[in-house]
Structure 1
Amino acid sequence: MSVTFNHTIIAAKDRDKSAKFFRDLLEVPAAPSWGIFSNIQLDQGVLLQFAEPPVEIQMQHYAFLLDDELFDRAYARLTEWGIEHWADPQMKHSNQINNEHGGRGVYFKDPAGHAIELITRPYL
């Protein structure tokens, strides 16, 4: 049997706001939501489930691999929305992208404060 990634739960301060943010940024559809989850669907059936935990949210890091055209559109949205972003995870190169690993990348924080990375080439 092969192994594929199926779903993860992402802690959110406002689950609907976080799900909408990622739907709009990454141009992905909503998925049926139930119970405490607001869901979005990525390629190959991967489900992101946003939930509001009853505890303080700890920052996590999530990286998304995008094709060049979607990266261009997503980066344009980040700048249009006035979201602070960096070329590096140390947040030293503000309002820039990087050209590492043969592609491009950018770091920013989502509405819940998670560290998000968009890249156009995998690290491997």
Structure 2
Amino acid sequence: MDIKAQEWAKSYFSRLETAIEQLKNHDLVSRVNIIKYPGATPEQIAEAEAKIYEEQLENVDYKDSEAPAGPFAFNEYIKEFYKISNGLHVSWHSVAFAETEAIDPDGSFPIAKDEDDYKEGWISGPSH
């Protein structure tokens, strides 16, 4: 275990939680949506690395690319990120452009119309 990477991941999520609270309390933000997946186990991370390596090897012939030097491995920082959350999504909607929002097909949260997408905000992290 890499202590520096573990501290970085904890710090990242702590800063993210602070930013989310600031968004929730901001006068111009009407809604904050958060999806934070549970952390991945070391076995799940190893499975994802193996799958990526297999796909890299498949692409060597298919895309006439160079073979990887060795098996794929996430760096320690991303591994520690995945141990805390195996993916996340945060989006927010402003009150300034409420008239540009529409309900998504499932009816679960408002989304900006395509031409107004830049007026909203979101961040997403990978999940496997």
Compute the TM-score of the two structures, normalised by the length of structure 1.
Answer: 0.25
Higher strand share: 1
Greater relative contact order (Cα 8 A, min sep 6): structure 1 or 2? 2
Higher helix proportion = 2
When Rg is computed on C-alpha atoms for both structures, the one with the higher figure is: 2
